[in-house]
A and B are shown apart, each in its own frame.
Chain A
Amino acid sequence: MKILVCISHVPDTTSKINFTDDNSKFDTNGVQFVINPNDEFGLTRAMWFKEQQGANVTVVNVGGQETEPTLRKALAIGADAAIRVNMQATDGFSVAKQLANVVKEGGYDLVIAGRESIDYNGSMVPGMVAGLTNANFVNKCIGLTVEGSSVTALREIDGGKETVSTTLPVVIGGQKGLVEESDLRIPNMRGIMMARKKPLTVVEATETTPETTSIKFEKPAAKGAVKLVSPDNLDELINLLHNEAKVI
């Protein structure tokens, strides 16, 4: 089985978010970048397939040269090869188009992406890749097995979960649950050394017209001070929630 894991390179979850250029660009100054958490679960599940079922795992990112350390980290975790499509990712559709080219070119059976990236929160790339490559699609996937070309997946739905069956080729929108938090791997020294020798291929992007354009960013207004209510006066809390906030 050939697996492609889509990796988005995102600010660490503790990052303070700031903007530059008249609030039109994300300020990367001093920001640590990591593998998107949803993709980390997918990558770890891919490693399971590699070790238990003999799969070959390629990771891919659409981005500039600055994303290469993130791809190297994925190689150190155990992926066999990496591809970077050289393009600044600006909108979900353009990214999906580049990824679809990589999928078609490489003939992958299983494409694992994340349900959502924690920076732009688009929640669209995996579905679009599935649409563009005519593959089956399972979103919010929290469990995945493959036997031959049969796929069984567990997915989260609002208020519960469901089991679905489908066939390869399939695109997964993955998240926590694909593997457990405790199964996530931190690259060890040997992995890091080996990663240096693994291929990281840079391919040029094909031209796309962005379907959406980011105009500018804005930070939420600073919050007013909290109103404290004494634990001995909870009727006051109920009163505030009922009459002031009007939420109960």
Chain B
Amino acid sequence: MSVLVYTESEQGSFKKIALEVASYAKAVANQLGTTVTAVTINTEDTSALANYGVDKVLKVSHDQLSNFNAKGYAAVIKQAAEKEAAKVIIVSSSANSKYLAPLLAIDLNAGYVTNVIEAPESTSPFTVKRNAFTNKAFELTQINTDIKIVSISNNSFGLVENNAQATAEDFSPSIPDLTVTVESVDKATDKVSIADAEIVVSGGRGLKGPENWGMIEELADVLGAATACSKPVSDLGWRPHAEHVGQTGKPVASNLYIAIGISGAIQHLAGINASKVKVVINNDADAPFFKAADYGVVGDAFEVVPQLIEKLKAFKAQQ
């Protein structure tokens, strides 16, 4: 009956979202009066999970699963759910989790809800609040099935420490024929990805050209942030498509979003509104972004950003 959570890792250590989904699973388990079981794939050291309320870890190690494979990973989680007789399964909003979860939902005849931002409003009926209309509204959704799958929005629940005595056991599910094969992976390992970032520094057309992105990258570096951009910036080829954020680009749900030289069009705002704190730097006091922001600086980015970098460096040095 325990709540099952899929905890993702990268190069052997848990991603922050894994600890966040574990925290969320613990909250659900408390509501249901049950325990939390985590399933991990190819992760040796699982001790970190105990700090976030996990009671039991099912450790799966398999060469065939060394690259992510939606069908293979869904099969593992399905068998773990059956073993634990889990009725609630929690996953993150990572690209991988959102890839496997619909397959898992079909395999388990489970109702599946994405973009969930809070612990369930009630567990009987099972009702959760989610983001819809690209952050322009919240939707309260009820899951009607016996087994439920919930994908939670990144950074929405946060990390909640809960000491548990996690026991770990090896689990060897059967792996189906994997008919989608990864041929090559192209991933910048030295950069923070928008999906994982707690802080995102984003630049718009106000920066005039790709040659001016040095200061954006430097600001991101100082803050340990990911870089992003508005749609026209990627359409113009100033920055890669992968950095395009907004309603038709990547969604951003960071703790801090810094928008530099971005006007704040409705399609841009929709995609980044789930961020908790928004800072705008723009030389036009009437730019619509100021209405959506928490903090703003009306000024020329070419003067403000270099100064901000120096001041942040000094601030960081003191910390």
Contact = CB atoms under 8 A, between A and B. Distances in A.
The answer to whether A and B assemble together is yes
Given A124-B101, A166-B179, A237-B279, A231 B111 contact: no
Given A237-B295, A247-B256, A160 B187 contact: yes
B196 A159 contact: yes
B317 interface: no
Interface stretch (B81-89, B209-217, B303-311): B303-311
A216 B105 contact: no
Contacts of A138: 180
Interface residues of A, number: 79
Interface stretch (B21-29, B33-41, B52-60, B138-146): B138-146
A220 interface: yes
Contacts of B199: 247-248
Given A209-B144, A226-B295, A137 B183 contact: no
A131 B137 contact: no
A161 interface: yes
A51 B28 CA distance: 52
A247 B256 CA distance: 6
A159 B228 CA distance: 12
B249 interface: yes
Contacts of A226: 280, 290-291, 293-296
Interface string A166-197: 11000001001100011000000000000000
Interface residues of B, number: 93
A29 B269 CA distance: 23
Determine chain A's interface SS by DSSP, over half rule: mixed
Contact of B187 (A14, A131, A159, A229): A159
A108 interface: no
B270 A247 contact: no
Nearest to B121: A215
Among B99, B235, B279, B300: residue with most chain A CB under 10 A: B99
B183 A163 contact: yes
Nearest to B311: A234
B297 interface: yes
A240 interface: yes
Contacts, number: 258
A247 B131 contact: no
A19 interface: yes
A131 B102 contact: yes
B186 A161 contact: yes
Given A118-B247, A128-B106, A215-B141, A231 B303 contact: yes
Contacts of A214: 139-142
A37 B267 CA distance: 12
A211 B95 contact: no
A121 interface: yes
B316 to A, nearest CB: 9
Interface stretch (B43-51, B112-120, B161-169): B112-120
A235 interface: yes
A128 B113 CA distance: 13
B191 A247 contact: no
Interface in B104-157: 105-107, 109-115, 127, 131-145
Interface string A227-248: 1111100110110111001011
A10 to B, nearest CB: 9
Interface in B177-200: 179-189, 191-196, 198-199
16 contacts: A124-B102, A124-B114, A136-B180, A156-B242, A160-B242, A162-B185, A164-B180, A164-B183, A176-B241, A211-B144, A212-B113, A216-B140, A219-B138, A231-B298, A245-B277, A247-B255
